[in-house]
Amino acid sequence: MKSTSPPFYAKLALVLFSIICLGYLAILGHSLLAPLLASFLLALLLLPLANFLETKWRFKRSLASIVSVVLMIAAISGIIYFLASQLSNLGQDWPLLKQQAVHSFEDLQLWVSHTFNVNAHKQIDYIKNGAESALSSSATVLGATLTTLSSTLLFLAFLLLFTFFILNYRRILFTFLITVFKEEHAEKVKQIVEQIQYIIKRYILGLFLQVLIVTTLMIVILSILGIKYAVLLGLITGIFNLVPYIGIFSSLLISILITFATAGATKVLFVIITFVAVHTLDGNILMPLVVGSKVKINALFAFIGIVVGEMIWGISGMFLCIPYLAILKIIFDRIDELKPWGILLGEQEKPNRKRKTYRITKKIKLEEPE
């Protein structure tokens, strides 16, 4: 009996229905799936270290996994401690910040009264009404803050546990992926897994290198300009830069507020110019060389992925969307029926040309993406 393929609109309906179901399940399973997917990326990053401990130092797999996770915790704790020390310095200057804010508020009052003919008493009444409404909802805000804190701690606990378990049971997981498909597809599945491991590891390392370069540039330039909290603002910019498109604007807003409170409006203009210059350098040189050559997702679907990730999982979804879009593209490119989706996610193909290479040291070099 000859089999007939369903019409296009039936296939489209099934695809849309599947996407809606997966999205609904992702929302329901946020507490479990978000740390699980994040820990998978961390496990790929820590895999070379765990393999080194097993082969060179003869550690058992469980011990190598524990040591790898502990070293990761130590590195992250060091960054958090350094950032907290910088924030404590900002807290010591709180009276100065408060005084500058009062002067700025008085200047703003004068400007509003001259421009809009609203006297100071009416402005204060507006502010009091806003403060009363904010205080009336303070209990709700406090409850939401406590809920967010508890969910963050739960996320971190799950993240560490899942990272350890994935590292410890990685051979079982790999065997499962090989055996769950037909035998003739085993080689293709193995190639997909190896390529995903290579791409994601290079992508995460590229992100860390990008954060380091952006942070260093911001600290050096802001220090030359005489900005008081150059180190703190540089760290904030580098860390927030991990969130594509949105992070740079958030760090810019924070930097403007701190600089305005400590140095006045003139330095704010210099800070804005610095952000524009560094972001231009990052977007046109660093991102294509360090990160873009590893994950070739076009800007349209990268932005859509960030928005959808934030809608489903919040900030964690914004971080996870790009690497998992890259994983999907690798899978789509390897399966004939899904190749059109891989083309849709990828960049437009460019004619062959010689790629530029920037050598940093004898062993480290950056190549322009294909």
Tell me the pLDDT band of 161, cut-offs 50, 70 and 90.
Answer: very high
Q: What is the pLDDT averaged over residues 98-106?
A: 66
pLDDT at 341: 85
- Check pLDDT > 50 for residue 138: no
pLDDT at 217: 92
pTM: 0.75
pLDDT at 169: 94
pLDDT at 351: 55
- Check pLDDT > 50 for residue 142: no
- Check pLDDT > 90 for residue 356: no
Tokens 């305005």 belong to residue:
260
Distances in whole angstroms, Cα of residue 334 to Cα of each of 90, 281, 305, 331: 52, 34, 21, 5
Task: Name the least confident of 85-94, 187-196, 249-258, 268-277.
Answer: 85-94
Q: Is 357 exposed, middle or buried (0-12, 13-18, 19+ CB in 10 A)?
A: exposed
Tell me the pLDDT band of 130, cut-offs 50, 70 and 90.
Answer: low
Strand partners, 366: 358
pLDDT at 293: 52
Residue in 241, 223, 230 with CA at minimum distance from that of residue 281: 241
pLDDT in tens, 4-22: 677 877 878 888 888 889 8
Q: Which residue has better confidence, 342 or 92?
A: 342
Q: What are phi and psi for residue 245, nearest 5 degrees?
A: 70, -50
Using CA atoms, how far apart are residues 97 and 259, in angstroms rounded to an integer?
10
Strand partners, 365: 359
- Check pLDDT > 70 for residue 304: yes
pLDDT in tens, 33-73: 999 999 998 998 899 899 999 999 999 999 999 999 999 99
Using CA atoms, how far apart are residues 187 and 53, in angstroms rounded to an integer?
28
Task: Name the least confident of 17-26, 107-116, 350-359.
Answer: 350-359
- Check pLDDT > 50 for residue 215: yes
Local structure of residue 285 (DSSP, 8 states): I
User: What does the block give as tokens for 8?
Assistant: 């296009």
Residue 334 near residue 350, CB atoms below 8 Å = no
Q: What is the pLDDT averaged over residues 232-247?
A: 81
Q: Which residue has better confidence, 177 or 104?
A: 177
Average pLDDT, the chain: 79
Q: What is the pLDDT averaged over residues 345-363?
A: 61
Residue 47 near residue 200, CB atoms below 8 Å = no
- Check pLDDT > 60 for residue 75: yes
